[in-house]
Amino acid sequence: MNLNDLTDELARARAEPRLLDANVWRNVVTSVEDGYAAQTLLAARAGNDVRGWKVTALSPEQQRLYLADRPVGGALLSPFVRAAPATLSVNSFLTPLLECEVSFLLGADLPARDGPYTRADIEGAIAAVVPAMEIADCRWPDDAPGLLKLADSMGNGAFISGKPVANWRQLDLTAINVTLSHDGKVSERGSSARILGNPLLAVIELANAQSLARPLPAGGLKRGQIVTTGTCTTPIPLLPGRYTGDYGALGTVQIDIVA
């Protein structure tokens, strides 16, 4: 078995949906490079239409799960990215968890390079800030190796983006309060401060996690893509009904979940 076999299985498992046996595949993905190679193959199945990236492993403890010394990224592929308001079926997922996130729309490419990007570089490349929801859903059991989860686009089930806010420099990104409601009843409250104190820092981390020796898969960070930085709220199980995320000055995101 090889990476092509693995991506065939991942694509089928996502479509059905069903869990895969991690013990069968753990020796196929043994490095971040293998995980990224699998993501590149999955992106090719989607016409190489990578709509964005999710950042994970922002702490050394999390990075050790991927045998890495830097953050890693998961590709958000076009078939699984929607604009709010959106309607999705809970039956499309296995064990979905809903997360409210602050994401960033890139106005310029951020390719791998020898020297690190500065904060000014990243700020200059950001076209807008976008409120968003991710439905996290993995095709592996919880105890599967992190590298298998990396190969599976970091357990992305679906990504739902709100309206971009172009005047983001006027906002205090360290204190965006988020309220998530389900059928009009508050389910969770959170804050952008949960992401490194400022979610912009996660974009810098991802840009600098790539190198000429270890680029991100499928061509890396491109103009027009979204970088989503992690959940501002405690993830909750996805149930049928209407979810509304209120992000204050960033606006709202609404999704309807049907059976």
CATH assignment of the domain containing 20: 3.90.850.10
Could you report the per-residue pLDDT of 226-247, keeping only the tens digit for each? 999 999 999 999 999 999 999 9
Write b or e for each residue in 248-259: b if 16 or more Cβ atoms lie within 10 A of its Cβ, otherwise e.
Answer: eebebbbbebee
Is the pLDDT confidence value at 215 over 90?
Answer: no
Rounded average pLDDT over 170-187: 97
Is the pLDDT confidence value at 176 over 90?
Answer: yes
Could you report the per-residue pLDDT of 78-116, keeping only the tens digit for each? 999 999 999 999 999 999 999 999 999 999 999 999 899
pTM: 0.95
- Percentage of the residues of the chain whose pLDDT score is greater than 90: 96
pLDDT grade for 211, boundaries at 50, 70 and 90: confident
Give ∠ CA 98-44-214 in degrees, rounded to 5. Answer: 80
- Domain of residue 121: give its range: 3-258
Contacts of 113 by beta carbon, 8 Å cutoff, 6+ apart: 212
Is the pLDDT confidence value at 1 over 90?
Answer: no
Distance CA 124, CA 146 (A): 33
Q: Are 25 and 6 in contact (CB under 8 A)?
A: yes
| Domain count within the chain | 1
Rounded average pLDDT over 68-77: 96
